[in-house]
A and B are shown apart, each in its own frame.
Chain A
Amino acid sequence: MVFAEQHNGKIHPVTFELLSKGRELADRKEVELSSVILGHQIREEAKELIYYGADKVFIFDHPTLKEFDSILYKQNIVSLIREEKPEIVLIGATHLGRSLAPRIAAALNTGLTADCIDLQLDEDGELIQVRPAFTGNILAYIKTKTKPVMTTVRYKVFKARERDPMRKGEIIEKEVKVVEDTGTKILGKIPREAVNISDAGVVVAGGRGLRRPDDLKMLEELASLLGGVVGVSRPLVDEGWASKDRQVGFSGNIVKPKLYVAVGISGSPQHLAGMKDSEIVVAINVDPSAPIFNVADYGVVGDLYEVIPKPIEKIKLRKMKL
Chain B
Amino acid sequence: MTDNEFHIVVLIKPVPDMEKVRFDVEKGVVDRSSAPLEINPFDLNALEAAVQIKEKLGGEVTAVSMAPPAAESVLRDAIARGADRAVLLTDRRFAGADTLATSYALASAIRKLGRFNLIICGEKTVDGDTGQVGPEVAEMLGIPHIAYVTEIREVTKEKLLVVSELGAPYLMELKLPGLITVTKDVNKPRLPTLKDKLKARKAKVEVWSADDLADVADVSRFGFSGSPTQVVKVLVPPMKKRRSQIFKGEDAVDKLIEALEMEGLLR
Contacts and interface: CB of A to CB of B under 8 A. Distances in A.
Given A139-B235, A277-B240, A192 B100 contact: no
A194 B165 CA distance: 13
B100 A109 contact: yes
A184 B172 contact: yes
A182 B223 CA distance: 31
A129 to B, nearest CB: 8
Main secondary structure of the interface of A (DSSP, over half): mixed
Interface in A236-282: 237-238, 244, 250-251, 258-259, 269-270, 276-277, 280-282
B30 A138 contact: yes
Interface residues of B, number: 82
28 contacts: A7-B167, A74-B139, A94-B167, A95-B167, A96-B166, A98-B132, A101-B135, A102-B139, A106-B103, A106-B139, A112-B100, A134-B23, A134-B126, A135-B126, A139-B234, A140-B235, A141-B233, A143-B232, A182-B144, A184-B173, A188-B170, A237-B185, A258-B265, A280-B263, A296-B242, A296-B244, A299-B256, A310-B257
Contact of A189 (B170, B188, B242): B170
Interface in B145-185: 145-148, 150, 161, 163, 165-175, 178, 183-185
B216 interface: no
A2 B245 CA distance: 44
A312 to B, nearest CB: 11
B178 A142 contact: no
Interface of B: 18-19, 21, 23, 28, 30, 42, 98-100, 103, 123, 126-136, 138-140, 143-148, 150, 161, 163, 165-175, 178, 183-185, 188, 227-237, 239-240, 242-248, 252-254, 256-257, 259-260, 263, 265-267
Q: What are the 10 tightest A-B residue pairs by CB atom distance, in nearest-first order?
A: A111-B228, A183-B144, A114-B130, A106-B139, A111-B229, A99-B147, A102-B135, A146-B228, A141-B233, A299-B246
Contacts of A320: none
A98 B140 CA distance: 16
Given A133-B128, A300-B247, A315-B266, 12 more contacts: A111-B98, A133-B127, A134-B23, A134-B30, A135-B127, A139-B235, A144-B230, A183-B143, A183-B144, A297-B243, A298-B245, A314-B266
B168 to A, nearest CB: 6
B211 to A, nearest CB: 22
Nearest to B163: A190
A68 to B, nearest CB: 6
Contact of B18 (A98, A259, A269, A280): A269
A298 B128 CA distance: 33
Contact of B242 (A102, A114, A138, A281): A281
Interface string A21-47: 000000000000000000000000000
Contacts of B145: 70, 99, 103, 184
A219 to B, nearest CB: 16
A70 B30 CA distance: 35
A183 B140 CA distance: 15
B91 to A, nearest CB: 21
A154 to B, nearest CB: 12
A216 to B, nearest CB: 19
A17 interface: no
Contacts of A176: none
A307 interface: yes
A140 B185 contact: no
B172 A141 contact: no
Contacts of A315: 266-267
B172 A301 contact: no
B175 A259 contact: no
Contacts of B28: 138
A300 B252 contact: yes
A299 to B, nearest CB: 4
Contacts of A101: 132, 135
A142 B100 CA distance: 14
Contacts of B248: 288, 300-302
A85 B132 CA distance: 22
A115 B130 CA distance: 7
Given A144-B229, A184-B175, A298-B256, A190 B100 contact: no
A81 B169 CA distance: 30
A113 B131 CA distance: 10
A189 B171 CA distance: 6
